[in-house]
Chain A
Amino acid sequence: MIPPREPDVKNLNYLFWAYTLIWVALAGYLLTLSIRLRAVTSQLRRLKSRLPGDER
């Protein structure tokens, strides 16, 4: 009878750290991108409201 296969857990910590690093990097970049976008949009809105008349 073939014994049941042991779950392959050797070096699992390397896999964990690799995927954690990828997600932290991507989520961090998305977060900074959205912060920068929000900041520029609000600055634009503020500046536009200061300009005389509607430019469009």
Chain B
Amino acid sequence: MGFRMEALDRNLRRAEILLFGAVGILMIVSLYFVFKVVPSEVTMGVVQRIFYFHVPSAWVAFLGFFVVFLSSIVYLATRRLIWDTVAHAAAELGVLFCGIVLFTGPIWARPVWGTWWTWEARLTTTLVLEMVYVAYLVLRSQAENRDQAARLAAVVGIVGFLDVPIIYYSVQIWRGHHPIVFKSSGGQGLEPIMLKTFMLCMGTFTLFFLLLLALRVRLGILQDALAELKEHDSTAGA
């Protein structure tokens, strides 16, 4: 087991170094585009530039919760703890990026809407999503053992994801006033350079998410190995 773990750990390290370099370069290029290349939006002015990091944060938060959803299903089907480790890592990242969305959104809303927060459909459902996955992490920390934590968290991880499509369609269903970024028809009103910058930021954030996921999964694997060794150590000592 130790040999397989170390081989996996070595491969993850290589992927992390490559990703770290790519993310570093892309992040600098993204910031250059956001602050130097792209023009200010006519009505919102300079504050619209929050959009280039706010929306990609929302995208990777949803991606993280999707990974939780998938990994939890696979865990319940196979009972292999590695899938629970992946789900746990992705949930932590989802909460981090969703938190960024919930803080940068009001900073944008204050000068544009004239208020920090409103109980508008998309904002409320996003807050609910964040609370569900915070509960997921709290539940894990309170469980009696690793198996119980994995089993209960998997159920919460699957059910919690049902909120994501609700968030996506909330503006159409409840006619909220949150801007719609992606429209099925009629374009999205973004200048070509704005769209390019936006897509660049989306790619950068996706790679950054993958880097953090690789690091967090490695941490989970090492924590499991440590727990196993401790158990081995205590039984050997008894």
> Which residues on A are within 8 Å of B, measured CB to CB?
8-12, 14-15, 17-19, 21-22, 25-26, 29-30, 33-34, 36-37, 40-41, 43-44, 47-48, 50-52, 55-56
Contact = CB atoms under 8 A, between A and B. Distances in A.
Chain B at the A interface: mostly helix, strand, loop or mixed?
Answer: helix
Contact of A21 (B46, B96, B100): B100
11 contacts: A8-B45, A12-B46, A14-B47, A17-B107, A18-B54, A18-B104, A21-B103, A33-B212, A37-B218, A44-B222, A52-B236
Interface stretch (B75-83, B187-195, B226-234): B226-234
Q: Which 3 A-B residue pairings sit nearest by Cβ, starting from the closest?
A: A11-B47, A11-B111, A18-B107
Contacts, number: 83
A14 B108 CA distance: 7
A17 B49 CA distance: 12
A21 B219 CA distance: 25
A47 B230 contact: yes
A48 B226 CA distance: 9
A54 to B, nearest CB: 9
A56 B225 CA distance: 13
B157 to A, nearest CB: 20
Given A11-B45, A12-B46, A25-B96, A40 B2 contact: no
Between A19, A37, A43, the greatest number of chain B beta carbons within 10 A of the residue's beta carbon is seen for: A19
Contacts of A9: 46
Which one of B107, B218, B230 has the greatest number of beta carbons of chain A within 10 Å?
Answer: B107
Given A17-B107, A37-B218, A47 B233 contact: yes
Contacts of B47: 11, 14-15
Interface in B199-233: 208, 212, 215-216, 218-219, 222-223, 225-226, 229-230, 232-233
B50 interface: yes
Contacts of B49: 15
